[in-house]
Amino acid sequence: MCSCWELVKILKDRGFVPKRSLGQNFLVDDNIRNFILDQADVDNRNVLEIGAGNGALTVLLVKKARKLLAFEIDKILCEHLRRIIKQDNFVLVCKDALKEDWNSYGILPAVLVSNLPYNISSPFFFKLWDEDYDVPHFVVMVQLEVAKRLVSREKSKDYGILSVLYALTHELRIVKRVSRRSFWPQPEVDSAILKGVRLNFLEKDVKKMLKVLLNIAFRYRRKKLYKAFSIEIPEVDWRGLLAEVGIDPDIRPDALSPDGWFYLAKLGLSKLKHKISEV
Ligand code: SAM
């Protein structure tokens, strides 16, 4: 079994230069990759990997998974992966993972694993949430600040749209902090391993309303909640409406709990549907 460094060396020997624009910071710490594998618990399950890269995780995943569906956007790395991984249970898709329907390859993943390229972390988490993939759990390495944002709660500076969305559908935990020294080339910041377990699914309409309200409110994060909504939907008496349902109209968007946002989305559906669908 190749160590992480050996996999990097194969690429270096072929003159490969990592592309910053694709977030190519390869894992070079065998202890961290073993930790990710333990957390992912992939034995005999269908697995999805985003950004297989030099294969640091892929070579281990393919040994344990029932089937492994891996996306990699870089053609040179796809050739490398095809050279080093010959197992029949490996399906490599050399495309942009953000533009694909992950369920369209006949392998419904039970686990998602990724050392996520830093440049796609937000769009990746929005896609996973928006498109409602029925992936029971995931283990994903991201920049520490992104992990903190995802797990944060109201009244924290890191709290934002993704924190609210994931709090309502997943149990998320940072299971390890990872030093920047665990990657080649070394990035400027540390990373973290985030573990997510799917708790439930929300109705389509509620999801849509939630996104509309969150997008408006967090665009005006420093304003009072009623003001933020009034800017974009002025025909509604937001102060009165929020007070009526027990939400303080004067709080800022980042002070409302995930349950509060859920409640507001439900209310939006019953009272504001026709007005908000135009926004
Ligand atoms: N899995 C390897 C590891 O753990 O060392 C590589 C991880 S590296 C941080 C991220 C990988 O994702 C790179 O190989 C990069 O080319 C690939 N990548 C970047 N954007 C992508 C996208 N939109 N779709 C698929 N792969 C992408």
User: Residue 275: its pLDDT value, please?
Assistant: 63
| Nearest of 232, 193, 194 to residue 212 by alpha carbon | 232
Most informative mutation of 71, 73, 75, 143 for ligand 1 (most atoms within 8 A of CB):
73
| Nearest of 131, 128, 2, 108 to residue 55 by alpha carbon | 2
pLDDT tens-digit map of 24-60: 999 999 999 999 999 999 999 999 999 999 999 999 9
Question: Which domains, and CATH codes, for the chain?
Answer: 4-198 (3.40.50.150), 204-276 (1.10.8.100)
Q: How much distance in Å is there from the Cα of 143 to the middle of ligand 1?
A: 14
State whether the beta carbon of 77 lies less than 6 angstroms from ligand 1. Answer: yes
State yes or no: pLDDT of 203 exceeds 60. yes
Question: Which 3 state secondary structure label does DSSP give 168?
Answer: helix
Asked if residues 251 and 229 have their Cβ atoms less than 8 Å apart, the reply is no
Most informative mutation of 3, 16, 26 for ligand 1 (most atoms within 8 A of CB):
26
State yes or no: pLDDT of 214 exceeds 70. yes
Q: How much distance in Å is there from the Cα of 169 to the middle of ligand 1?
A: 26
For the entire predicted model, the pTM comes to 0.95
Pairwise CA distance, residues 181 & 201, whole Å:
37
Pairwise CA distance, residues 12 & 214, whole Å:
45
Q: How much distance in Å is there from the Cα of 100 to the middle of ligand 1?
A: 15
User: What is the helix (H) or strand (E) element at residue 273, kind and residue range?
Assistant: helix 273-276
CA–CA distances in Å: residue 187 to residues 100, 183, 243 = 27, 7, 47
Q: Whose CA is nearest to atom 18 of ligand 1?
A: 51
Choose the weakest-confidence range: 4-18, 97-111, 160-174, 233-247. 233-247
Atom of ligand 1 nearest to the CA of 114: 1
* CA 180 remoteness from chain centre: 20
Strand ranges inside the chain, DSSP E? 26-27, 46-50, 67-71, 90-93, 111-115, 137-143, 170-178, 183-184, 191-198
User: Residue 244: its pLDDT value, please?
Assistant: 83
State yes or no: pLDDT of 241 exceeds 90. no
Q: With cut-offs at 50, 70 and 90, classify the pLDDT of residue 274.
A: low
pLDDT tens-digit map of 149-201: 999 999 999 999 999 999 999 999 999 999 999 999 999 999 999 999 999 99
Pairwise CA distance, residues 15 & 25, whole Å:
16
Atom of ligand 1 nearest to the CA of 22: 19
Q: How much distance in Å is there from the Cα of 189 to the middle of ligand 1?
A: 17
Per-chain mean pLDDT for the chain: 95
CA–CA distances in Å: residue 45 to residues 32, 69, 109, 110 = 21, 11, 8, 6
CA–CA distances in Å: residue 151 to residues 123, 161, 253 = 17, 11, 17
State whether the beta carbon of 25 lies less than 6 angstroms from ligand 1. Answer: yes
Most informative mutation of 8, 17, 24, 184 for ligand 1 (most atoms within 8 A of CB):
24
Amino acid at 27: L
- The DSSP code for 57 is T
State yes or no: pLDDT of 67 exceeds 80. yes
- The DSSP code for 220 is T
Work out the angle between the directed axes of helices 204-219 and 258-271 (0-180°, nearest 10). Answer: 110
State whether the beta carbon of 138 lies less than 6 angstroms from ligand 1. Answer: no
Mean pLDDT of 239-244: 89
Q: How much distance in Å is there from the Cα of 161 to the middle of ligand 1?
A: 24
State whether the beta carbon of 120 lies less than 6 angstroms from ligand 1. Answer: yes
State whether the beta carbon of 81 lies less than 6 angstroms from ligand 1. Answer: no
Give, in degrees to the nearest 5, the angle at Cα 205 between 199 and 207. 45
Q: Which residues pair with 252 in a beta bridge?
A: none
Choose the weakest-confidence range: 52-56, 64-68, 91-95, 273-277. 273-277
